[in-house]
Structures are given as structure tokens and as C-alpha cells.
Amino acid sequence: MDLLWLWILLAVLVVLIFLVVSMYNRLVRLRNEVKNAWAQIDVQLKRRYDLIPNLIETVKGYMKHERETLEAVTKARAAAQSMTNAGAESRAKAEGELSSALTRLLAVSEAYPDLKANQNFLALQEELTSTENKISFSRQFYNDSVLRYNNKTQVFPSNIIASMFGFKYGEYFEVKVATEREAPKVSFS
Amino acid sequence: MWEQIRSNQMRSVVLVIAMGLVLLGLGYALGFYFFDTGIGGIAVALAVWLIMNLVTFFQGDNILLALHKARKIGPDDHPRLYNVVEEMKIASGLEKMPGVYIIDDQAMNAFAIGRNKDKAAVAVTAGLLAKLNRDELQGVIAHEMAHIKNRDVLLMTVCSVMLGTIVILSWYASRMMIFGGAGGRRGSGGGVGAQAIILIIALLLVILAPIFAQLIYFAVSRKREYLADASGAAYTRYPEGLASALEKISGSTEPLKSANQATAPMYIMNPFRKKSKPASNLTSTHPPVSERVRILRSMGGATFADYNAAYSKVHRGGGSVIPPSAMGAVPEGGTRTAQSKPKKPPRVEDTSSEIKRARETSDALWKLNNYKTINCKCGARLKTPPDFKGNRVKCPHCGNTNILP
């Protein structure tokens, strides 16, 4: 009789260990996914920093009357670049401002037919549009990953494992700048 | 990682198992008919299936690319296409960039291949690239990326191999039954009545098995199309892109050269569709386009729940395509706005071309009466009568003097 109880106890223990290990592994996998998604955003943001000087150089000659717009982009780029080691929230803010400055620049460029005939500019425009897309798609994927990870760390029973091994919540990368949400207003007067 | 893929795979696995059972049943019946033991027939069926699998495995997916003479491109060959693929790779969270191929064909179509995610590729026809704007292209690529991500290619390969085995087996069996008189080889299996029953059952199975298998195959394919549409909308957060792309593709009638029936489910749209095809039927690999477009257009957001709601709305409250466990998989519902600028409203173009045509007609009439026309610098058009003397004429608009030709 005692032996039977011992066996049952052992079986329960094995099942428990198996559950804990699989939950732990799942949490680790999700956390890695979040980290990887964050790295993806980073790659695209760096790509954008690299593209901007090129763009300004190409555009400068054509847009003599848009000094302010150009300067805003340069300034926003410098500000964003200095935030690379800051947390997700403050970084998102700086990058959001850079995005809106760039959108304004691209919108203004519509008014310059010479510029729009420039092959170099067209190639840059495609690259920049795509990079903007990649940034927002990688942010989308990052936020989805964070949601999945946070759900796992908060729901029962995996929340027990999460608190036991110190899994922290992920931080969303949200755009808090109002200007990025609305379309830029441009007047061609 | 993605819950909906897992539970959808469960459903698909059930269908694959059903197909496997059809194969085993066929083998058993044939074995009983020809060798007197069901097990022998099953062994033969499995052997044929194994050989077919090996052949497909070594042929690889590249057969489809080779068939279409697809050309691999890099980021510099077609920046827009490459960028869009990369964007969707990021949105879907795929680890490795799939190969990007262009097919020199004016038909509009696209497909994805790759039984595992590391060796995936998407191919797009030149016609598609020429006629779609960026948002629409993004929708199409998102759909293909969803096929890769959901491992549909693997599933469809497994299914099509099984389908092929069933078709081949029953084809040969029916020939042998009709011409071989193989029934005579059987030992003393029982009375004449039992023999007749077995004969009828075997015959029925031989006829029905390929049909069943094909129906299952098409059912799997249609389910995966809906799921890929839903995932595509979730990746781009812009269902309208895919919807209008589907409309454009279905509007073009140019057939895709060198497509074949077995690979039809891999394309974004059935390459064998006919214009006057009835809305929906059991024997199509893809759901009807009009329905796919309607579902996409009636989506309130971009999540799977939105797609499901739109699906049941279009089907008047009937059924669902996305399993309940998948509902939470895509958070943050909102869609976004178009990126490509909408084209000018066509009416404006129409009227301006109409004015132009009217002007050309009246010019021709003037010319017939020997009037001469001169275009002044200010844009006015001067007409001089045939009996006009002198070679200078003053423009009544700007006062500039024009010399007659």
C-alpha cells in the first residue's frame, strides 16, 4: 500500500515538474521573441538615420524655401539618435517626432515637380517610405509579441512561474505624438 | 507561438487523416479483391504513397519556379517588390527573408512555395507588378506570407501527394478490373453472392475514392485561403489593399501559362478560373473572389475576430472560419489608411478627354473648309478664312502678331 502511494506521489511530481519546465520554456521563448522584435525595430530605425543625410543632401538644392522643414528633420534625427539607449517610452516619443518631421518633408516635396523628376530622389523616396513601413510593421509585431508575453506572465498558472523566476512585463512601443496620428496639413500657397 | 495556426492545423490534420483513411480503405478493398487479404492491399497502397512522397521530396518546390521560368531578384532589381516583401516578412514575424521571384508573364497571379520556413519563396508575375499599386501589392504579398507562416505549402503538398496516390491506385485498379479479370485469381473466397458484394464494394470504392479525396483536398484548400486572407489583413492592418487587388486580378482574363491543376491551390487566385463560373461550388480550390472581397470589405478592424464577424455577416450568420482559440492572436484592432495616393476620379479625365475630342472634330471641320489654324503663344487658337489676304494676323486675346505659315 505504501509503495502504491509512493508511486502516485512520484507520478504527480513528474507531471508537475514537466508542467513547470514547459511553462518556463514557453515564457523564455516569448521573452526572446520580444527581444528579437525589439532588435528588428532597432535595425529599421538605424536604417532611417542612415537615409536622412542622403535625403537632405538631394533635396536641399531644390527646396530653398523649406529651410525650416529641413532643419526640423535634421534636429529630430539628432534628438532620436541621442535617445537610442533610453527606454521604450521616451524613445518612441523621439522617433515619433522624427516620423512626423519626415512625413511633412515628403508632403512638401510634392510641390516641387523638378524634385519629383529626380531619379535619385525617387529611389530615396521609395526607400524612405518602405523604411517607415518597416518601422511601423516591426513595431506592430513587437507590440503583438509583448502582448503575448505579458498575457503569459499574468494569467494563471504561468504567472506563478513568472514571478518565481522574475519575468518582468514587457513595455509597449507606442507612438504618443499626436501629430503622427493625423495626416499632415500642407498648404501650397 | 501563434495559437490560431495550431488549432487550424488541428482541423487540417483531421482532414488529412480523413484522406488517409480513404487511401487505406481503397487499399483494403483492392487487396481483398485482388489478393484475398486486405492487409496486402494496404501494403501496396502505402508503398505507392511512400514512392510518391520520395519523388516529391527530391523534386522539391523548385519545380514550380522552374516551370514558370521564374527569375530571382535582389533589392536592386525591383526595389518596390523587394521592399514590400521585406515589410511583410517583418509584419509576419518570419525569421528569414524568403526568396523573391518574378515571372515574365502578363497574367496577374502570385504564389508562395517552401515546405519549411527557412527555404520559402514568393513569386509574382510581371503583369501583377505592373497593374497593382503599392497597397494592393502589399495585400497580395501579405496573403502569400501568411501561406508561408501558416505552413500551408507543406499541408497542401502532403494532401496532393495523397490525392495523387488515390487517383493512380484507382485508375490502375479499374483498368485491371475491366480488362484483367483479376477476380479469377481469387481463391475460394465464399459463395457467388459474397463475391458479388465484394466486387460491388470494391468497384464503388474505386470510383468514389478519387472524388472523395478531391473534395477533401479542395475543402482544405478553401479553408487555408480564408485563413490567409484573414492573416494578410492582420499583417497589413489594411484589408482594402487585398480586396482591391483581388478585384483587379479577377478582372484580368489573361491566363497564366504553364499552371497546372495539382498546383492550383498555391496561387493567390485559381489560375483556371473561368469568367462565368458559378459563385461557389465544392470543386473549386479557392473561395469565390466576390465573396473574399466582400468579407474583406465588411471588416470593422483588422483582427481575426473582425474577419470572422465579416465572414458570418456575408454568410448571413452562418458558420465561422477562424477557430475561437485564435481570436486573441491579433491585438490592436484598428486599420490604417491608404499609402498610395488614390487615382484622380475618372470622371474628370473623361470630361477633359471629351472636350479634347470635340475640339479635334471641330478643327477637322474648319480644315475641310480651307480655314487655316494658328496656335498663338497665349494658348488661343486663331482661324483664318481661305480668302484671307496678307500673312500677318493679330491675336485678339493678347495682341501678339502671328505670321501665317
Convert the pLDDT of each residue in B222-278 to its tens digit.
888 888 888 888 888 888 888 888 888 887 766 666 555 555 666 766 665 544 444
How far is the CA of A115 from the CAs of A65, A118, B80, B136, in angstroms? Answer: 13, 5, 20, 26
Residue A3 belongs to some domain of the structure: no
Q: Interface pTM (ipTM) of the complex?
A: 0.75
Question: For residue B93, how far is the Cα from the chain centroid?
Answer: 22
pLDDT, one tens digit per residue, over A60-97 is 777 777 778 888 888 888 888 887 777 777 778 888 88
C-alpha span between B293 and B246 (Å, rounded): 7
pLDDT at B85: 92
Helix (H) / strand (E) element for B165: namely: helix B152-175
DSSP reduced 3-state for B309: helix
Range name among A36-50, A146-160, B144-158, B357-371 with the lowest pLDDT average? B357-371
Q: Is there a contact between A140 and B1 if contact means CB atoms under 8 Å apart? A: no
Report B:334-373 residues touching A (Cβ under 8 A).
337, 339
Task: Tell the residue number behind the cell numbers 483581388, with chain if given.
Answer: B246
A48 within 8 A of A98, measured Cβ to Cβ: yes
Please say whether the beta carbons of A35 and A141 come within 8 A.
Answer: no
The helix, strand and coil proportions of chain A, stated in percent and rounded to the nearest 5, come to 80, 0, 20
Contact A180/B at CB under 8 A: no
Query: What are the backbone dihedrals phi and psi of residue B314, each rounded to the nearest 5 degrees, phi first?
Result: -65, -35
* Interchain contact A25–B (C-beta under 8 A): no
Q: What percent of chain B has pLDDT over 70?
A: 63
Asked if A147 and B331 come within 8 Å (Cβ–Cβ), the reply is: yes
Residue B398: how many CA atoms within 13 Å on its side-chain side? 11
Residues 6+ apart with CB under 8 A from A123: B79
Are B90 and A40 a contacting pair at CB < 8 A?
Answer: yes
Q: Categorize the per-residue pLDDT at B279 as very low, low, confident or very high, splitting at 50, 70 and 90.
A: very low
Domain carrying residue A120? 27-181
CB contact under 8 A, B331 and A37: no
A169 falls within a domain? yes
For B119, which DSSP code? G
User: Do B385 and B371 touch, CB atoms closer than 8 A?
Assistant: yes
Domain total in chain A:
1
Residue A146 lies in a domain: yes
List the grid coordinates of A18. Answer: 514537466
- Please give the pLDDT value at position A54: 83
Q: Which residue has the higher pLDDT, B87 or A113?
A: B87
User: Length of chain A, please?
Assistant: 189
Q: State how far the Cα of A116 lies from the Cα of A105, in Å rounded to an integer.
A: 13
Across the strands, what pairs with B95? none
Question: Can you give the pLDDT of all 189 residues of chain A as single tens digits?
Answer: 678 889 999 999 999 999 989 888 988 988 888 888 888 888 888 888 888 888 888 887 777 777 788 888 888 888 888 877 777 777 788 888 888 888 888 888 888 888 777 888 888 888 888 888 888 888 888 888 888 888 888 888 888 888 888 788 777 877 654 444 444 444 444
Give the pLDDT score at A9: 93
Q: What is the largest CA-CA distance in chain B?
A: 118
Compute the distance between CA of residue A158 and CA of residue A176 in angstroms, rounded to an integer. Answer: 31
Rounded to a whole number of angstroms, the distance from the CA of B247 to the nearest CA of chain A is: 24
Residue A80 forms part of a structural domain: yes
Active-site residues of B, by number, are 144
Residue A96 sits in a domain whose CATH number is 1.20.1440.20
Give dist(CA A49, CA B400) in Å, integer: 55
In a domain, A11, yes or no: no
Residue A151 within any structural domain of the chain: yes
Domain membership flag for residue A139: yes
Residue B341 grid coordinates: 495616393
